[in-house]
Amino acid sequence: MRLSQFFLPVLRETPKEAEIVSHQLMLRAGMVRQASAGIYSWLPLGFRVLKKIEQIVREEQDRTGAIELLMPTVQSADLWHQSGRYQAYGPEMLRFEDRHGREMLYGPTNEELITTIFRDGVKSYRDLPKNLYHIQWKFRDEVRPRFGVMRGREFLMKDAYSFDLSAEAARQSYNKMFVAYLRTFARMGLKSIPMAADTGPIGGDLSHEFIILADTGESQVYCHSDLIETRTPGADLDFTADLSPLIASWTSLYAATDEKHDRARFEAEVPEAKRVSARGIEVGHIFFFGTKYSEPMGCRVQGPDGGMVNVQMGSYGVGVSRLVGAIIEASHDQSGIVWPLPVAPFEVGLINLKAGDKDTDKACDDVYGKLTRAGISVLYDDTNERAGGKFATMDLIGLPFQLIIGPKGLKGGEIELKERKSGERMTLSPEAAVKRLTELVSARRVLA
């Protein structure tokens, strides 16, 4: 993509309304613009990150055998009366009437709707287990939306719903999502820690939040420091095997959010030198709630003995749009964002130091063409801006690698390759730079 043809309205000043660094950087880097309080437009740069995160979430859901569908944003209130949540849910639920005066709402979650879809489509235990998920916009009418996309009103979420014949089988479905979440966040360059958590308005009695540690995190969390070192399961994991031992390796060490924290237990179970008390950001939340929805909504299947059984359900959320902010909170420096490569809007930024100079343009076009044909995504700054401005913008938007090409270097047959994170620079021939970059990019795309 040539910058001259892109739409990247960067801001040189930090907008006053933004309190936290991810919000500041997303505005400055031209990733989002507020449409109204807590509601954002995703500009092209931000949209590309959102899509990359969405795709990683999708691939890891699919890997577990979960099946994607798509439920609408607007729901009938009738369903929520059936489950009993219409009254229970607070003013965060956006309620309205359609032109015929029917009560409707903008879905904050989808337990009710998916339960009816499953109920009407599946009749026999033979069709279980099933896990159905979608990635859809939700609305939560926060009283004071803030922190940008981290706590917006309209937000993109992946929510999966599992259906099983027994509580034991449901536990395996829960465990699959548990592992998928570890992998999902690790692929985005995040170290997530599953923590015992409250269930809130979703209900149920088994729940984990997936937390990433960041100084600017929204809540206090407590855990055993060994959890930070625990290895993420590889892509070769067999999801049909019993996952309990693997889950136990994560849940046997102390980890709890503020609401679930038990100081006495923490101090008894965790040696002082291993006690981590830190700020955390919630990026995922999983629940097992048994028959909380299936029973009132009549979601039953025929069991092996012919009798009808209420299905056992769980639900599993990932905050897709919130992750964009969370990743920035976890990965930035004084100059701007530092994207982990798998979620970067482009993998390489190419800077032409003298646009309009024939030799420089030719060298840039050549490198741009070679990288693009090698399947590497490149943002090519072909504009007339001054070099200083180009460097600042490229650091601000945080692409993992920068290639800098100017007439001086070209005289000696050299261009510069800079890694955004470390700031390390190498001077290479254009051919060697393309080769080196291709290797570096390939290596970082995959979770080891």
Residues near a copy of itself, by CB under 8 A: 5-7, 9, 30, 33, 35-37, 39-44, 46-47, 50, 65, 67-76, 78, 91, 94-99, 102, 104, 106, 113, 117, 120-122, 130, 132, 137, 139, 141, 143, 153-154
Please state the closest distance from residue 33 (CB atom) to a copy of itself, in A: 6
- 338: tokens are 């530092």
Q: Report how far Cα 392 is from the mean position of its chain's Cα atoms.
A: 27
CA contacts within 13 A on the Cβ side of 258: 9
Please state the closest distance from residue 65 (CB atom) to a copy of itself, in A: 6
- 255: tokens are 């980890």
CA contacts within 13 A on the Cβ side of 81: 6
Cα 176 to Cα 240: distance, rounded to the nearest angstrom: 9
Please state the closest distance from residue 46 (CB atom) to a copy of itself, in A: 8
Cα 313 to Cα 133: distance, rounded to the nearest angstrom: 13
| CB neighbourhood size of 123 (10 A) | 12
* Residue whose CB is less far from a copy of itself, 209 or 382: 382
Please state the closest distance from residue 72 (CB atom) to a copy of itself, in A: 5
* Residue whose CB is less far from a copy of itself, 109 or 216: 109
Please state the closest distance from residue 238 (CB atom) to a copy of itself, in A: 15
* Residue whose CB is less far from a copy of itself, 35 or 446: 35
Beta bridge partners of 196: 208, 256
Output Rg (C-alpha) for the chain, integer angstroms: 24
Q: Tell me the one-letter amino acid at 346.
A: F
Please state the closest distance from residue 169 (CB atom) to a copy of itself, in A: 15
* Residue whose CB is less far from a copy of itself, 128 or 243: 128
* Residue whose CB is less far from a copy of itself, 113 or 227: 113
Which DSSP symbol is given to 15?
P
* Residue whose CB is less far from a copy of itself, 71 or 432: 71
Please state the closest distance from residue 70 (CB atom) to a copy of itself, in A: 4
Please state the closest distance from residue 177 (CB atom) to a copy of itself, in A: 16
- 27: tokens are 């505005």
* Residue whose CB is less far from a copy of itself, 30 or 319: 30
| CB neighbourhood size of 255 (10 A) | 26
- 236: tokens are 């070769």
Strand-pair category, 94-97 with 103-106: antiparallel
52 touches 343 (CB < 8 A): yes
Closest CA to 370 of 415, 433, 440, 443: 433
Please state the closest distance from residue 82 (CB atom) to a copy of itself, in A: 13
* Residue whose CB is less far from a copy of itself, 278 or 355: 355
332 touches 25 (CB < 8 A): yes
Burial class (CB in 10 A: 0-12, 13-18, 19+), 385: middle
* Residue whose CB is less far from a copy of itself, 123 or 408: 123
Residue 422 CB partners (closer than 8 Å, separation 6+): none
